[in-house]
Structure 1
Amino acid sequence: MPTIPDDDSRAPIAPGVWLDESAMSFTFSRGGGPGGQNVNKVNTHATLTLPLEALENAMPAWAFARLCDAAGRYLADKPPRLVIHASDSRSQLANRRSCVLKLRQLIVAAMNRPRIRRPTRPSAAAKQRRLDAKKHRSQIKSQRRAPDDG
């Protein structure tokens, strides 16, 4: 069970991952999407910017490496950071939550270690069952044919 940090400036982003709230910066702009004339007046498009070093300190090294591989279009250089956009809603707050949700999904996917696939071979009994099933199927199909009057 992850421990809760002592200071109040850290927020839980994903299971076992806590980030400084000051590391996450939001900017808002006028964006497309639903809203009609409201789109032209209100800054609802949210952009979350998060330096990679803040994530590097908050996650295990193997998970951070997986996150960097999976981040794709969210990854930006100079300085290295994650940039996540959302303009799904008419509400600035809803778009802000959508950005945090996308970040959470990225982190949870990175923390989920895939099982190592170990190649296996079928047992002798499994091979025999397969051959028996093929013979049985062959007999069924051969019985459907018209008898030869040779």
Structure 2
Amino acid sequence: MSGGQELAIRPGISIGEDELEEQFIRSSGPGGQNVNKVATAVQLRFDAANSPSLDERMRERAIKLAGQRATKDGVIVIEANRFRTQELNRADARERLIELLARASEPPPKPRKKTRPSKGAVERRLKAKAGRSGIKKMRGRVTQE
């Protein structure tokens, strides 16, 4: 890997190529004899916990969003084996990492404030229900005298 390039996450946020570690592994699934010979799947590792490119809040959110893809040490591991070539799988893994880090850089949603219906709204609702109930009760069988 070349040392000077960076992976842009969003404007003002990027990570260095030297922070990424790639390993090519054999892919599972169909592919005939070729699948046993060629290591086309990519395992991309990014040490989010020790990354100088991320601030503390983004670091924590990235590890939380990664879920099972993050190790106990805070290393995010992304495996890509969707395609049959190393180049496409490598690009796919990087794209998924960028997507994850972009989501981590967004501010967390505001917590929902609990609200209660007003007394008048509750009374109107109950009155409407009682009216509807009365209408339905009137729909009984017609008795003949």
1:49 deviates by: 1.0
| 1:74 paired residue number | 69
Amino acid at match of 1:22: D
Go from structure 1 to structure 2 and tell me whether the alpha carbon gap of 1:62 and 1:142 turns closer, same or farther (over 3 Å shift).
same
Match runs of 1:23-34 below 5 Å: 23-34=19-30
How far, CA to CA, are the matches of 1:86 and 1:34 in structure 2?
15
| 2:128 paired residue number | 133
| 1:97 paired residue number | 91
Does the CA contact (< 8 Å) of 1:34 and 1:90 recur in 2? no
Does the CA contact (< 8 Å) of 1:30 and 1:43 recur in 2? yes
Q: Does 1:58 align with 2:57?
A: no
How far, CA to CA, are the matches of 1:143 and 1:74 in structure 2?
61
Match of 2:116 among 121, 124, 127: 121
SS state at 2:33 partner: helix
Give the TM-score normalised by structure 2.
Answer: 0.79
Go from structure 1 to structure 2 and tell me whether the alpha carbon gap of 1:15 and 1:123 turns closer, same or farther (over 3 Å shift).
farther
How far, CA to CA, are the matches of 2:63 and 2:16 in structure 1?
19
How far, CA to CA, are the matches of 2:7 and 2:122 in structure 1?
55
- Structure 1 gaps of 5+ residues are 1-7
Amino acid at match of 2:14: W
1:92 deviates by: 0.9
Go from structure 1 to structure 2 and tell me whether the alpha carbon gap of 1:126 and 1:49 turns closer, same or farther (over 3 Å shift).
same
How far, CA to CA, are the matches of 1:116 and 1:45 in structure 2?
40
- Structure 2 gaps of 5+ residues are none
Comparing both structures, which one devotes a greater share of its residues to helix?
A: 1
For the aligned residues, what is the CA RMSD? 2.4
Paired residues in the alignment total 139
| 1:88 paired residue number | 82
Match of 1:12 among 8, 14, 25: 8
| 1:3 paired residue number | none
After TM superposition, the structure 1 stretch with the greater mean CA deviation from structure 2, 19-28 or 117-126, is: 117-126
Go from structure 1 to structure 2 and tell me whether the alpha carbon gap of 1:47 and 1:126 turns closer, same or farther (over 3 Å shift).
same
